[in-house]
Amino acid sequence: MNRRTFLQYMALLGGSAYYGCSSQQVSSTPVPAMAQDPDNFNSLSIGNSSGKTSGDLFRDLQKAKDDLEGAIKRGDARALETLRVRYDAIQQRWCAATQAQIEQIRNAAVAPAPPASLNAQLYPFPPFPPAPITSGVGVCLSGGGARAASASMGELRGLRSLGLLDRVSVLSTVSGGSWAGVTFTYLPSDISDDEFLGGVVPNPGDLTWEHHSGENPAQALDSLSDQALGSLCTRIGLVEFLVEVAKLQVTYHDSLHVLWCRAVGALILEPFGLGDITRQGSPATYYSSTLQWLETMILNEGRNPTLSVPDFHLIQKSRRPYLITNSTIFSPPGVHLRRPAPGSPPLEPYPFEASVTGAGVPFPLQGQLGGGTVDPFAFGGQAPSAPPVQNRVQVPTPLQRFSLSDIAGTSSSDFVGPLIQHFYAHYPWLEDIDPIYSYWPVMPANQTPAQQYFFGAGGNLEDTGIMALLRRKMTRIIAFVHAATPLSWDSVAKQVVVDSQLPPLFGLQPKVAGQPYQPYSSPPAPVSPSARPYRYNRVFDQQAFYSLIDQLWQAHQAGGSAICKQTKLTVHDNPRFGIQGVGQVDVLWVYTNPVTAWTNQLGPTVRLGMEFEPFLYGTFPNYDTFLQLHLEPRQVNLLAHLSCWNVINGRSIGGFPANAELFREMFGQS
């Protein structure tokens, strides 16, 4: 239960106050204020060993307290011990009865009854709300599960250290990058960015294997705050997700298709105060942008009188980038994602994005998809029955509140596959936890009925997140590629091997060992199953790919970070992703990869510790976090510190520009 939900729950109980009970006795749950008023308990039938109600016990407790205080004042040592035993016995019975009442009320607590309809804003393509974002710098946090989340902590830390994070205009995220993006964007005001992103350690030699009293905890690899972004990586794993999904499966009474997203909310968002689950498993909270946006666009002029500020997670910290999480919608509807009926047409993936102000397929596509986005609180229900008026519609209220767990969960739902692979034999219902939502396209003067679509992770289609920025015609992009594949040399093909998410952006298929990169042929030419989902991803020239991988390799061979800045890249129109008329862009590619210059500076104790546990650190920094989601604090911190260094290093290595210089150039600084 998050902070907001807890306050709403306590308001339902009528307030809170502690009285007499220890945390062990009442599980640290505040006692309802009505428990302090015995008249409110007279009608309750909650009993105890003596058969008395809580109201009777409260009166007995008050009497015992008065008698005990009187004995203390009189200095009556003989009576004092007897009265203390009596008071403790009554207090224990009263606490037990009160706790039973709290549990009874909690079990009955549900999200507030929804209104019959909602008034929502439509955002046809183009422009994007609140206006087309074409200036400034966009940052991509690619997918990669816990590896991506750990690296993102360091990358955001590095940008902040250079004074650049507040100047990022848009943050486009996928999968594990979305775990980082959602928590960073909506971080509660009572969690500092210093604690969330961690401290900067410019010199790797200052890192220590263990924390000792009096030392800087930022330097200790085994020290990781529970409120640090990377701590989420230590709380998750396939077993942890299975346990959470199974718990929700027991208590959730609607659809299995939301269980993955709710588990993401419970394990990843809840520890940061961003959870949204009631006792029954339904989201209690929508999400939106800032308070000003909510009051102006959603609550103004009595548009939604039944909604109020506590119904929404809002951006609490100033100067956060505009967040976009990227997922996949599969078409046509009615075809099961994992058990297609014989003769069913093949499912095709299309991009779906959820931003802080809208959700949907943001550009027109053929058939039943696309056209724009709608206010997130109105997503997931039935289509409006009347055409929009000034881009506003009245829609039936969706059965479920579209929440932060939905956008973080759909973007990362590729981990449903390993869950099924490992546990299907004992839990066959896992095959039905892929997210499904009702979707209707935003197209003026065309009321298309909503249909049920399967949704998947953004990496099913495009894993870098760069398409959302090109769609907005942003011309300065920093792409953090959280690669599972370290750079290597194919001696047979005589080419550099890079992660599979990069070649398709240049019209090339992922690398096959011993063979040169192959271009995609025009459909319907056959393509291998592993390469097929990315056949529509080309936005850059093929020749630019070879210059990219050559420079990444040269920087790596020199011992530095795998970074490459490409200027004036020509962007090809791509109707599959809604990209048109972009022109040329500058992209700073930052590729997760071993960095000799950084590793060589580590102290002997740290290096020995890593060598002693090859199972944990043998693939550093390209941890395989697809099947092994869980990371230890030292794994998280090592990757975060390296990723931060990839941003802030101010020293030229091998004749290449210093990392910090490249980043400052992207923001127009010399």
Residue 310: other Cβ atoms inside 10 A? 14
**Portion of the chain with pLDDT greater than 90, in percent:** 69
The candidate with the shortest Cα–Cα distance to 626, out of 261, 245, 140, 146, is: 146
**pLDDT-based confidence at residue 135 (cuts at 50, 70, 90):** confident
Query: Could you tell me which residues are beta bridge partners of residue 17?
Result: 31
Q: Which residue has the higher pLDDT, 66 or 150?
A: 150
Listed as own residue / partner, the contacts of 34-39 with beta carbons closer than 8 Å and 24 or more positions apart are: 35/98, 35/101
Inter-helix orientation angle 77-108/54-74, to 10°: 150
**pLDDT-based confidence at residue 113 (cuts at 50, 70, 90):** low
Q: Which residue has the higher pLDDT, 25 or 93?
A: 93
Residue 37 pLDDT more than 60?
no
Separation in Å, CA 639 to CA 123, 198, 647: 39, 12, 13
**Per-domain residue ranges of the chain:** 3-108, 138-175+192-226+466-666, 236-460
Residue 130 pLDDT more than 60?
no
Six-digit token pair at 524? 């319907």
Q: Are strands 168-174 and 286-287 parallel, antiparallel or unpaired?
A: unpaired
| Distance of alpha carbon 414 from alpha carbon 406, whole angstroms | 14
SS3 state of residue 396: strand
pTM listed for this prediction: 0.83
Query: Could you tell me which residues are beta bridge partners of residue 350?
Result: 329
Q: Are strands 451-457 and 286-287 parallel, antiparallel or unpaired?
A: unpaired
Separation in Å, CA 116 to CA 119, 373, 382: 11, 21, 12
Supply the pLDDT for residue 584.
96
* N-term to C-term CA, the chain: 47
**Least confident span in 21-25, 97-101, 266-270:** 21-25
Q: Is 636 exposed, middle or buried (0-12, 13-18, 19+ CB in 10 A)?
A: buried
The candidate with the shortest Cα–Cα distance to 553, out of 497, 609, 621, 618, is: 497
CB 336 within 8 Å of CB 326? no
| Distance of alpha carbon 366 from alpha carbon 369, whole angstroms | 7
Q: What is the pLDDT of residues 483-504, one digit of tens each?
A: 999 999 999 999 999 999 999 9
Cis peptide before 305 (omega within 30 of 0): no
**pLDDT-based confidence at residue 446 (cuts at 50, 70, 90):** low
Residue 451: other Cβ atoms inside 10 A? 16
Residue whose structure tokens are 């042929």: 521
Separation in Å, CA 272 to CA 146, 179, 181, 266, 296: 16, 11, 13, 10, 27
Please give the mean pLDDT across all residues of the chain: 86
The candidate with the shortest Cα–Cα distance to 393, out of 443, 323, 462, 353, is: 443
CB 359 within 8 Å of CB 373? yes
Six-digit token pair at 74? 């009189």
Residue 670 pLDDT more than 70?
no
